[in-house]
Amino acid sequence: MTGAGPGDEGLADQQRVSVVTGGALGIGGATSRRLAADGDLVVLNDIDEAAAEKTCAEITGAGGQVVPVVGDIVDDAVVDQVLAKVRDLGRIDVLVNNVGDFRPASKTFLHSKPEQWQRLHELNLLHVLKVTHALLPMMVDQGSGTIVNNSTVEAFRGIPGNAAYSAYNAGVSAFTRSLAVEVGRHGVRVNAIAPDLADTPQTSAQAMLRGRDPDLVRHWLPLGRFGRVDDYAAVIAFLASDEARFVTGHTVPVDGGTLAASGWYGRADGKGWTNMPDNP
C-alpha cells in the first residue's frame, strides 16, 4: 500500500485505487492483472474495447475489482472520463501512464512527416502530462500517491529510424525526474520504467527475430531471453508499493541487460539497422 501522508490516517486503511492507461494488452494488461491481484481496484483505460472487456473479465474471474474506461487517452474527453471515475471512487493511489508507441514509424527521420511527429508526441509524451495534471491534485490533497510512467531504453541510446519516438520518451524520463522533485513534499512519488525487447502483441518476439534462429537470443541478451509482460508488471508493482517508499525520480531499465551491453549496427546488406547481429 502507498503510505498515507500527514492527516491521512483514514485513507491508509481503504482499498487502493490504481489507474492504468493502455491497461488491456501487453505490459499494461499484465500490470492491470498484477495490481488487481494485489488487491487494488483498477481503473482500466484502453482504446480497444474488446481487449478491455476480455482483461476485465479475467480480473473479475480471478476475484479482482476493475472498472473500464474505453477510449483513446490522448483525447481530452477520455482523460475527463478517467478523472470522473476516480472522483466517484473518492481517491487515487497509483497512476500508471503506460500508453506509448513507436508507430507511426518512418524509415528515417528524413522520410518522416510533421503529422507523424504530432501523433508520436500525443502517444508518448503529451498524454502523460495531461493525465498526470488531471489526477495529481487528488494525490496532493490526500498527501499520498505514486506515479509510474512507461519510458524506453531508447530514451538513453540512439534508435535509428525512430528519432522522434526516442526524443519524446527522453521527455518522459525528464518529466519523471523533475515532477518527483516538485511533488515529493506532498507525499507523492514519481518513477518510470524503461523496457526493451518486450514480447508483446505490439512488439512480438517473432517480429523482432525476423526469421533468425531463436537460439541466438542467448548470445545477444545478457539474461538470454526476451522480456515477458509479467517481468515489467512486477517492477511497476514494486515501484507502486510501499517497498519502494524511498525511491523517487528514477527511470528503471527493465531490459535483460541490453542497455548495459548492446548497441545498434548497420546491416551488412544496407537495409537499415539491427541490434541483433546475425552471428553470435
- List, in order, residues 6 or more apart from 83 with CB less than 8 Å away: 134, 135
- List, in order, residues 6 or more apart from 70 with CB less than 8 Å away: 45, 46, 47, 49, 52
What Cα–Cα distance (Å) separates residue 105 from each residue in 117, 161, 166? 9, 7, 11
| Residue corresponding to grid cell 541490453 | 258
Retrieve residue 126's grid coordinates: 503529451
φ, ψ of residue 21 in degrees (nearest 5) = -85, 145
3-state secondary structure of 254: strand
> Does residue 150 contact residue 176 with C-beta atoms inside 8 Å?
no
**Active site members:** 165
> Does residue 146 contact residue 94 with C-beta atoms inside 8 Å?
yes
N-term to C-term CA, the chain: 44
For 46, the enclosing helix (H) or strand (E) is: strand 41-46
In terms of DSSP H, where are the helices of the chain?
A: 26-37, 49-61, 76-89, 114-121, 127-142, 163-183, 205-209, 217-220, 229-240, 258-261
